[in-house]
Structure 1
Amino acid sequence: MRNLILCAALATASLFGMAAHAESIQAGKEYVELASPVPVSKPGKIEVVELFWYGCPHCYQFESTINPWVEQLPEDVNFVRIPALFGGVWNAHGQLFITLENMQVEQKVHDAVFNAIHKQGKKLATPDEMAEFLADQGLDKDAFLKTYNSFGVKGQMEKAKKLAMAYQISGVPVMIVNGKYRFDLGSAGGPQQTLQVADQLIAKERAAQ
């Protein structure tokens, strides 16, 4: 419940926060510079991470803004989504996301999961419920359950937990650029401003290479 409140608080702040201007973003205002940088998954590329939860309404609303932006990212940028794992249904949904990533499903399946939770009122809180729903999206139930319960997926869950701790996150949606800079809708001033901050920090890292 604490993190549900944090999720809501971040988005509320984003509605009233000051817009981030490209020429004036500052550490401690629009973004936080991490004291201990976190290694990126693909050295040589500028990494942009979004931490999210399928059940967060603000992550759901952010999808329509961030997805077109991701599609236009240049070749030297590696975009990664990581599920936030705060226990309970957060972990179940995180395991669902990692499973779907391992199955290499198209974005429309992720969209269907978001819509099921936020438009259809489905909880998708158990593997069987997930499998039944995903069968309607064209996924094989047995293949899904086998992947969901696999050693590889569980290992990736542990990695996601460690990364969230290293990033020092307390709510979602939140973004990290190159393992160094953390920011969110509240600090940036809104969804579009969040991506403007990301663009400036990407440019900052590119210039430093």
Structure 2
Amino acid sequence: MRNLIISAALVAASLFGVTAQAAEAPAAPYVELTNAVPVAVPGKIEVVELFWYGCPHCYAFEPVINPWVEKLPSDVNFVRIPALFGGPWDAHGQMFLTLQSMGVEHKVHAAVFEAIQKQHKKLVTPEEMAEFLATQGIDKDKFLATFNSFAIKGQMTKAKELAKKYEISGVPTLIVNGKYRFDVGSAGGAENALKLADKLVDQERAATKAAAN
């Protein structure tokens, strides 16, 4: 009987130990979305960055993420999406989508960030935006016409819908292949965020190859 009691105690202690270890295990640095979001380019692994020109953390992330994007392999598609939480977020997001639609976003993206973050320009009205962008070689009239177009309003709606599906609450946030969401803070810094993105991209690539075999 004594041996049975000792055995029971050891089993209980063992189970308790396992439970305690499980409770203390660190949480994953990313969230797997309940419902995967379709990617923009089927057949490619997608990495989305949600950002805001008015976010200092997004601005600080730029020198780290841009060189990374330039070295991405051909099977990875990088997409920037403006986070639209109202007010200046929407204004800046509409500016980004307008520049992107005009095919000039890559030419002035850094300058817009600098103007807002370093020169403290607000750039919240179409006129303010057009005046500043004119100094960067962007046609004012074309910008304003595009900014107020039906097509851009449609893109704004789409961006808001994607943000809801991604369930984001802040920026900068990365989404890998419409499945995994994490931010720079939860990943442990900018460099670690990109290492995590690489790891998840590799994971998705391996899963695709396994499914094909």
Q: Same fold (TM over 0.5)?
A: yes
Please say if residues 48 and 177 of structure 1, whose CA atoms lie closer than 8 Å, have aligned partners that are also in contact.
Answer: yes
Q: CA deviation at 1:108?
A: 3.7
> What are the equivalent positions in structure 2 for 1:43-62 lying under 5 Å apart?
43-62=42-61
Looking at structure 2, the residues matched to 75 and 48 of structure 1 have their Cα atoms a distance apart, in angstroms, of 12
Matched, 1:113 2:122: no
Please say if residues 27 and 33 of structure 1, whose CA atoms lie closer than 8 Å, have aligned partners that are also in contact.
Answer: no
Match of 1:129 in 2: 128
Q: CA deviation at 1:165?
A: 0.2
The C-alpha deviation readout for 1:83-132, integer Å capped at 9, x for no partner, is 00000010000000000100111524010000000111100010000000
Residue 49 of structure 2 aligns to a residue whose secondary structure is strand
Aligned-CA RMSD value:
1.3
Looking at structure 1, the residues matched to 105 and 161 of structure 2 have their Cα atoms a distance apart, in angstroms, of 27
The C-alpha deviation readout for 1:23-78, integer Å capped at 9, x for no partner, is xxx99421110011001011100000000000000000000000000000000000
Matched AA of 2:181: R
Residue 58 of structure 2 aligns to a residue whose secondary structure is helix
Please say if residues 60 and 114 of structure 1, whose CA atoms lie closer than 8 Å, have aligned partners that are also in contact.
Answer: yes
**Unpaired stretches in structure 2, ≥5 consecutive residues:** 1-24, 209-213
**Unpaired stretches in structure 1, ≥5 consecutive residues:** 1-25
> What are the equivalent positions in structure 2 for 1:91-106 lying under 5 Å apart?
91-105=90-104
How many matched pairs?
Answer: 184
Match of 2:70 in 1: 71
Higher relative contact order (CA 8 A, sep 6+): 1
Which structure has the highest helix share of the two?
Answer: 2
Question: Percent identity between the aligned chains?
Answer: 70
Looking at structure 2, the residues matched to 108 and 27 of structure 1 have their Cα atoms a distance apart, in angstroms, of 42
Residue 77 of structure 2 aligns to a residue whose secondary structure is strand
Residue 96 of structure 2 aligns to a residue whose secondary structure is helix
Q: CA deviation at 1:152?
A: 0.7
Looking at structure 2, the residues matched to 137 and 33 of structure 1 have their Cα atoms a distance apart, in angstroms, of 40
> What are the equivalent positions in structure 2 for 1:152-163 lying under 5 Å apart?
152-163=151-162
Looking at structure 2, the residues matched to 123 and 181 of structure 1 have their Cα atoms a distance apart, in angstroms, of 33
TM-score (norm 1): 0.86
TM-score (norm 2): 0.85
Matched AA of 1:142: D
Q: Could you say which structure has the larger radius of gyration?
A: 2
Looking at structure 2, the residues matched to 123 and 208 of structure 1 have their Cα atoms a distance apart, in angstroms, of 45
Match of 2:18 in 1: none
